[in-house]
Structure 1
Amino acid sequence: MDAGLLAWGRAVKRRGGKIPPLWYFTDAARLADPLPVIRRLPRGLCGVVFRHDTAPGRLALGRRIAALCRERRLYLVVAGDARLAATLHAGLHLRGGRRGVLRLPCLVTASVHNAVELARARRAGAMLLFISPVNATKSHAGAQVLGAAGWRRLARLAPRGHRAALGGIDGRSIRALGQGCAAAGAIEAFYFNV
């Protein structure tokens, strides 16, 4: 795991707050089996966003991930699928701030790329807003990036404590966002030689 990002996450956690500061976003194209990474995530410091949308055996994999997250005291949210989130007793991650079909009494997070999506995610009750992409990322190759200044501009529209960063995040890039960033999501920054 990126040592700088881990140190940043620990510093944010010491400031308080219930929601974990570090979030691992699964990516079936880059790592079909995310379980080895999840097994090594620091307890109580991390959350997992389960995104394996089209993976074969998604439900079975989701159940294994949910059990592992409970065992390791890691938060779990399911991207874009309220029914699967309910089945796994997990939170829900909204893409583009779009509300899920079901209202769940759980943690709701969202990825947002502009002010419209941010407002939509807030109306949907998202507690953590992953403003992205901050930097160039393999997940969204060619997407226009916000950069640190663009992230801060958009973050001003979100309540303090709800602002998160996503997209090309590592130990160096997270520090450029300043104290207003409450959480960070990443993919490769969490890899442990898997």
Structure 2
Amino acid sequence: MTPPPLLVLTDRSQCSRPLRDVVAAAVDAGARGVVLREKDLPDDERGRLADDLRALLEPVDGLLIRAGGAGAGVDDAVHLSAHEPFPPRRPALVGRSCHSAAELARARDEGCDYAFLSPVFPTPSKPGYGPAVGVDGFARLVAGGLPTWALGGVRPEHVPALVATGGSGVAVMGPVMRDPGLVSNYLSEFD
């Protein structure tokens, strides 16, 4: 199981309309991978939301990844924060958020299948995670062999340069939550 090159991260606080509607529009625009964040929701509500989003993705052979190790018992694909422990029962796909070379090395060594590296560009949704690494810093950091997606301030026009560095793709939250039609702009840059 491999994530698609464009991953959409959810954040209902940035949505232009209900989250399910935003994800449906993103899928209609071509998104095939969604990372469900919304960790503040109660488990049962988050589980129902995961089921709803999975139902949107299944007809297009899309992938739902649930953020947080707590989902490892029920999900095939889990995305961990930089400091969450690796799940005791390994899901089919495990990713990790990273912000440094040391965190990328840890993710690789513990057996993660992929990583997000952020922030690549300045972004208000990643305060406190250090300075943006830019395209050159991303290129240096992805050289370790772990498939890595760029996250943080990534706009469609950044995609070709990030992929040219050896990056596996990009992960986007705010722009798509505010305007899910932008998915097609991101996807067109992978051609």
- If the length of structure 1 is used for normalisation, what is the TM-score? 0.77
TM alignment of 1:13-92, pairs within 5 A: 18-31=2-15, 33-40=18-25, 41=27, 46-55=32-41, 57-82=45-70, 84-87=71-74, 89-92=75-78
Question: Which piece of structure 1 moves more, 165-174 or 17-26?
Answer: 17-26
Q: 2:140 aligns with which of 153, 157, 170?
A: 153
Question: Which piece of structure 1 moves more, 25-34 or 132-141?
Answer: 25-34
Q: 2:105 aligns with which of 94, 119, 124?
A: 119
Match of 1:139 in 2: 125
Q: What percentage of aligned pairs have identical amino acids?
A: 32
Q: 2:95 aligns with which of 109, 116, 119?
A: 109
Distance change (3 Å), C-alpha of 1:45 and 1:51: closer
| C-alpha deviation, 1:130, in angstroms | 1.1
Distance change (3 Å), C-alpha of 1:43 and 1:110: farther
Q: Distance in 2 between matches of 1:140 and 1:21?
A: 21
> Which consecutive residues of structure 2, in runs of 5 or more, have no partner in the other structure?
182-191
Contact kept? 2:149, 2:170, Cα under 8 Å:
yes
Aligned residue pairs total 174
Distance change (3 Å), C-alpha of 1:27 and 1:125: same
Question: Which piece of structure 1 moves more, 182-191 or 106-115?
Answer: 182-191
Q: Distance in 2 between matches of 1:122 and 1:97?
A: 14
Contact kept? 1:76, 1:91, Cα under 8 Å:
yes
Q: Deviations over 1:12-37 (max 9, x none)?
A: xxxxx953111001113212842223
| C-alpha deviation, 1:168, in angstroms | 0.8
| C-alpha deviation, 1:81, in angstroms | 2.7
Contact kept? 2:36, 2:65, Cα under 8 Å:
yes
| C-alpha deviation, 1:113, in angstroms | 0.5
- If the length of structure 2 is used for normalisation, what is the TM-score? 0.78
> Which consecutive residues of structure 1, in runs of 5 or more, have no partner in the other structure?
1-16
| C-alpha deviation, 1:112, in angstroms | 0.7
Contact kept? 1:118, 1:158, Cα under 8 Å:
no
Counterpart check, 1:166 vs 2:151: yes
AA aligned to 2:168 is A
Q: Distance in 2 between matches of 1:98 and 1:123?
A: 15
Contact kept? 1:24, 1:186, Cα under 8 Å:
yes
SS in 1 for 2:14: coil
